[in-house]
């Protein structure tokens, strides 16, 4: 049973699951762990929608997003790492076991 509480977030009991410990760019079906901070970079798709994520999951998500790119404000080393990793992956790599 889920009840809302007026207690501040710090006073609420911790109910984190494994899905909450992953960055926003991690696909639910992707079993790989995050690599780096959950907001290491931001991907921007062709429509201008953005999603922040760790380096690992940004790289895994990038090949499946047509016309996507790493946000220009990401540090150069992180952006290059994402592009290099993504270049070795097919779209939706987790669906074929990669």
Give Cα separations from 19 to 22, 24, 55, 65, 76 (angstroms).
6, 9, 17, 22, 29
Could you report the per-residue pLDDT of 71-84, keeping only the tens digit for each?
A: 999 999 999 999 99
Q: Answer whether 0.75 is exceeded by the pTM.
A: yes
- Residue 3 or residue 90, greater confidence: 90
Could you report the per-residue pLDDT of 23-64, keeping only the tens digit for each?
A: 999 999 999 999 999 999 999 999 999 999 999 999 999 999
pLDDT band at 10; cut points 50, 70, 90 = very low
């Amino acid at each position: 049973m889920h009840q809302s509480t007026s207690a501040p977030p710090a006073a609420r009991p911790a109910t984190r699951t494994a899905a909450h410990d992953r960055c926003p760019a991690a696909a639910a079906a992707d079993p790989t762990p995050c690599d780096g901070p959950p907001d290491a970079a931001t991907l921007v798709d062709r429509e201008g929608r953005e999603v922040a994520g760790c380096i690992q999951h940004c790289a895994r998500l990038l090949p499946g997003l047509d016309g996507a790119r790493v946000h220009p404000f990401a540090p150069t080393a992180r952006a290059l790492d994402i592009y290099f990793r993504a270049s070795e992956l097919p779209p939706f790599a987790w669906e074929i076991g990669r």
